[in-house]
Amino acid sequence: MQPKTINIIYWVSTVLFAALMIFSAIGGLKPTAETIAFMHDRLGYPIYFIRFLSVAKLIGAIVILGPAFPRVKEWAYAGLMFDLVGALVSVIAVAGKVEPGASFIVLAIVLGMTSYFLWKKR
């Protein structure tokens, strides 16, 4: 792949990945009834943890979009992946199967992995 193509795919996947993470964090900054119903009532997470995850996702998304130090960017990618894999495992564990809503999580994981690997290749 040519450097220009790598750069374009990197930025498209990174912006989409960051946007998905920001979008998923918005409802938890000031947890809404819908967010509490899903995270607390359905998945069993404590309510205080919802805001913590949301702030961490926002920080991670900002870091991967900016020209951060490489080590900080690595940690941001790792943290966002832990969040997404944990979310996928939680949804599957509670439902006892893979639900259609999990496709959103899988899409975010694929975008994040694409962004990470192309960032390393650049």
Helix 102-121 × helix 70-95 angle, to 10°: 160
Q: Write the DSSP symbol of residue 46.
A: -
**22-79 pLDDT, tens per residue?**
999 998 999 989 899 989 998 999 999 999 999 999 999 999 999 989 999 999 999 9
Q: For residue 96, is pLDDT > 90?
A: no
Total residue length of the chain: 122
Give the chain's count of helices (H) and strands (E).
5, 0
**Residue type for 70, please?**
P
